[in-house]
């Protein structure tokens, strides 16, 4: 689905804020007034607003740059620390005197919000701040794969600034995606697309979206008035709708919804990421729906990593085989995660040149020994060394794809070496599986795995025998 070797550089411009939580319990009512007394036991702070878009992009593996305006205050310093913790540079934050950096504090008692109080400035930023933002964007525009405008109506994305950003981006063929706010979307005119939800789209177009015809009418209205490449409306549990020459709806894939907080930020982040990785808009919408499906299954503003998205897609039985083919670096990260989750990891390896019933039964039994089966596949060069110059019959890409499509195989990793020892060191499997012909022999990697399992082959079933039968049939036909 996504070429994970690509790490797009995405710029986020918008309203940064801190989501601050005071966690406690309530056992009594105040004698001073009819209010709850909350005994605060801990505090936490996370990036909010445009910061949640940044969190989502970082979780997907994107490089992220951020430009915003903050005050000269302690909240701004706290915000910079939170950005640096996730590897995002804060050098392009414009400091504006007498401005309050946004901080939203929530008092939580027994996981229920009792009170929220905000400290922030919501007036438009100064012309001088706008000038600094445009200078920073113009200077680095060639380095961006896309720009996200994350508007929370806190004064950063003024109409003039927004239009100038879109102008600069369009001149350099950089896509701009905006999460709009308010009833007037004219300030986003010329963007690649906007991501309003149904309620926001109704308010902006004055069209009551109640059926397919009214949805198409609203999408057409947005496309025309805002001069968009793609007109888009998110429809909650009904998915995401776009209109090009005709209506296209990408259905939602959420199984169970716990919390929709921040789902809009996930959608715009994942669409932008997917487009920046070369996917077309329809595939990007599918990817975004998968990401949203992961996020709404979590509590609070959450993010979705590529691994979580692929795992979720796999659980829906909609995953592509290629998403189960991993590099050494990727499988090492996955293996660490499986170990931390207490899952039993099984490893086996082989050439698997011409897949036959013996292979399938072998792999099914291997998978039965644990939770995750990782298959090390000999590369073409490795097969030649083991089997001779006439092999393999099928190249490594074809073999990997076919094996990855099997229900019993969770991941396939191609290795160039004659043995998979280095791969086994990375994975540290609990169970190492080999064929029954290794009885009484030393098996590569058994010093690393917790246990060795030998699986007997199906009699008469082998790639060599299959090739012999093909050659014999060819002779007879001649």
The residues carrying an active-site annotation are 265
- Helix 74-85 × helix 50-60 angle, to 10°: 10
DSSP string, 14-71: E-EEEEEEEEEEEEEE-SSSSSEEEEEEEEEEEEEEHHHHHHHHHHHT-EEEEEEEEE
Per DSSP bridges, beta strands 431-435 and 451-455 are parallel
126 token code pair: 């100064």
Query: What phi and psi, each to the nearest 5 degrees, are found at residue 250?
Result: -95, 110
Give the alpha-carbon dihedral of 305, 311, 314, 320, to 10 degrees: 50
- Is 471 annotated in a binding site? The answer is no
CA 171, 172, 178: angle at the middle one, nearest 5?
85
Between CA 383 and CA 396 the distance in angstroms is 9
Q: Which residues pair with 104 in a beta bridge?
A: 19, 118
Q: Known binder of ligand: residue 434?
A: no
Positive or negative: CA dihedral 422, 425, 428, 432: positive
Please tell me the distance from the alpha carbon of residue 197 to that of residue 205, in angstroms, as a whole number.
Answer: 12
Beta bridge partners of 247: 243
Half-sphere exposure of 80 (CA within 13 A, CB side): 15
Q: Is 142 annotated as belonging to a binding site?
A: no
- β-strands 63-71, 93-96: how paired? parallel
Question: E strand or H helix at 454, and its extent?
Answer: strand 451-455
Cis omega (within 30 of 0) for bond into 119:
no
Q: In Å, what is the CA distance from 62 to each residue of 2, 11, 137, 240?
A: 12, 10, 18, 23
Coil, strand or helix at 336: helix
Q: Is 237 annotated as a binding residue?
A: no
Q: What is the DSSP string of 61-130?
A: T-EEEEEEEEESSHHHHHHHHHHHHTT---TTEEEETT-PPEEEEEEEETTEEEEEEEE---SPPPHHHH
Long-range contacts of 334-338 (CB under 8 A, 24+ apart): 334/307, 334/411, 335/374, 335/426, 335/427, 335/428, 337/307, 338/371, 338/372
Annotated binding site: 197-200
Annotated binding site for ATP: 197-200
């Amino acid at each position: 689905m996504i070429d994970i070797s690509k790490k797009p550089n995405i710029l986020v411009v918008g309203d940064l804020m801190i989501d601050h939580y005071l966690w406690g319990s309530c056992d009594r009512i105040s004698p001073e007034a009819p209010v709850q007394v909350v005994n605060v036991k801990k505090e936490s702070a996370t990036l909010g607003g445009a910061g949640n878009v940044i969190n989502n992009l970082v979780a997907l593996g994107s490089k992220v740059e951020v430009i915003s305006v903050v005050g000269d205050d302690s909240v701004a310093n706290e915000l910079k620390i939170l950005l640096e913790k996730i590897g995002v540079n804060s050098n392009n934050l414009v400091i504006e005197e007498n401005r309050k950096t946004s901080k939203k504090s929530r008092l939580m008692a027994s996981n229920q919000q009792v009170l929220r109080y905000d400290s922030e400035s919501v007036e438009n930023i100064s012309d001088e701040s706008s000038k600094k933002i445009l200078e920073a964007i113009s200077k680095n525009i060639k380095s961006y794969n896309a720009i996200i405008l994350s508007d929370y109506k806190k004064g950063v994305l003024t109409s003039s600034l927004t239009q100038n950003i879109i102008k600069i981006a369009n001149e350099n063929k950089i896509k701009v995606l905006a999460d709009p706010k308010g009833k007037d979307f004219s300030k986003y005119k010329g963007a690649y697309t906007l991501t309003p939800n149904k309620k926001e789209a109704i308010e902006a177009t004055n069209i009551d979206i109640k059926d397919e015809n009214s949805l198409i009418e609203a999408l057409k209205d947005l496309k025309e008035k805002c001069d968009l490449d793609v007109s888009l409306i998110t429809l909650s549990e009904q998915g995401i709708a776009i209109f090009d020459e005709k209506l296209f709806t990408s259905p939602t894939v959420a199984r169970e919804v716990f919390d929709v907080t921040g789902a809009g930020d996930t959608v715009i982040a994942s669409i932008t990421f997917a487009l920046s990785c070369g996917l077309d808009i329809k595939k990007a919408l599918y990817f975004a729906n998968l990401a949203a499906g992961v996020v709404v299954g979590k509590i609070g503003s959450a993010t979705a990593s590529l691994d979580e998205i692929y795992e979720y897609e796999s659980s829906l039985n909609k995953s592509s085989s290629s998403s189960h083919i991993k590099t050494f670096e990727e499988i090492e990260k996955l293996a660490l995660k499986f170990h931390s989750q207490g899952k039993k990891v099984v490893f086996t390896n082989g050439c698997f040149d011409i897949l036959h019933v013996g292979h399938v039964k072998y792999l099914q039994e291997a998978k039965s020994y644990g939770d995750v089966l990782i298959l090390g596949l000999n590369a073409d060069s490795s097969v030649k060394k083991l089997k001779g110059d006439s092999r393999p019959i099928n190249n490594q890409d074809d073999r990997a794809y076919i094996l990855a499509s099997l229900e019993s195989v969770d991941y396939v990793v191609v290795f160039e070496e004659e043995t998979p020892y280095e791969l086994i060191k990375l994975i540290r499997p609990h169970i190492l599986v080999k064929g029954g012909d290794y009885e009484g022999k030393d098996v590569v990697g058994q010093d690393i795995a917790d246990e060795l399992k030998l699986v007997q082959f199906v009699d008469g079933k082998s790639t060599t025998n299959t090739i012999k039968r093909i050659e014999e049939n060819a002779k007879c036909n001649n």
